[in-house]
Homo-oligomer: A and B are copies of this chain.
Amino acid sequence: MNKKKEITIYDIAKELSFSPSTISRALNDHHSISDKTIKLIKETAQKMGYRPNSIAASLRNNKSNTLGIMISRINRPFIASLISGVESRARKAGYNVIITQSNDIYKNEVDNAQALYDSRITGLVATLAMETKDYSHFQQFIDQGTPIVFVDRVPKGLNAYYVIIDNYMAGYKATKHLIEQGCTRIAHFAGAQHRNIYGERRKGYEDALLEHGFTVDPELLCEFSTLSFSEGKKATKNLLALPNPPDGIFSANDTAAVSAIMYAKKHGVRVPQDLAIVGFNDDPIASIVDPGLSTVSHPAQKMGKISAQLILDHTEKDDDDLTEIKMLKTELLIRESSLRKKGPVDLPLGKQQKADTN
């Protein structure tokens, strides 16, 4: 092996006949070292090719300059944006970011929690796996005073920060919008009901119906386990085969909503005239599908940045109270998939396209 020897502060100390303490202090701009000495030491360090060993520093300081992320799967637009936000904010502050994905499996989430704990992360940003119903694997972080920020899919009642959106109101507004567009039988594609976001979106849907004089028809309420493309397709098929099919669908995500649009189109059901559809998330596919999918947009990147910031701020405080809840605004983006009435609408017109590169 041809490994070059690594330069440590001891090497610099020997070179300059200083003590390692002085080197360390100089490199960290400690006030008790003269400017001249600091300059000399930094220049020498540079010249010798010194690079700090952050592992050693982490051990000594008992903190790792690392944030941990627990998510279901990276390969989803909302999640990718969330991570992106966490990473960019964290790195600006000199923190690394470790990612772990559960693939929505509870056991993976527990294992990942162990791995992140063992890495002595400074803080944790977590969205729950679809399966997760027990939260005891988070207790170790709380016991150690390691701040947790739960984002989007969150548990109830843990001593942690929360960064969420108002799912109830978003579901309410989306359904109300469909009603205003003249829909009288509105179906709902719902996710697993023990997960807060799906339960709340559904509640918003139901309340909007009830407040406008409709009833909640169980026939029109489709509960999905994953809200996948194929699940959406199958549900759409069933709905359209009903003796009294719906004329509107509010889907708890865009994937299932898009599958509904595509199925409907293929079978001669006009969107939005025969079937108006609203999704959730504003994934890239929402602005690509034809007709464009009306949907609820999350500020995903922003949620990530805020999550990272909460942790960074927390480490500078000395109290261990962290019950702050940040609820961010969503926006109902109205595209063609739900726009039946011409003329002015009292809601903002959604963006039609999104730029992206590769």
Contact = CB atoms under 8 A, between A and B. Distances in A.
B1 A318 contact: yes
A80 interface: yes
Nearest to A77: B75
A51 interface: yes
Given A84-B73, A119-B96, A357 B228 contact: yes
B145 A3 contact: yes
B77 A101 contact: no
A4 to B, nearest CB: 5
Count identical subunits in the complex: 2
A120 B54 contact: yes
A85 to B, nearest CB: 10
Interface residues of A, number: 77
A40 interface: no
A236 interface: no
Contacts of A91: 100, 111-112, 115
Contact of A96 (B51, B98, B265): B98
Interface of A: 1-4, 6, 51-56, 58-59, 64, 66, 73-78, 80-81, 83-84, 87-88, 91, 94, 96-101, 103-104, 111-112, 114-115, 117-120, 140, 143-145, 226-230, 253-255, 258-259, 262, 265, 281, 283-285, 288-290, 301, 318, 320, 353-358
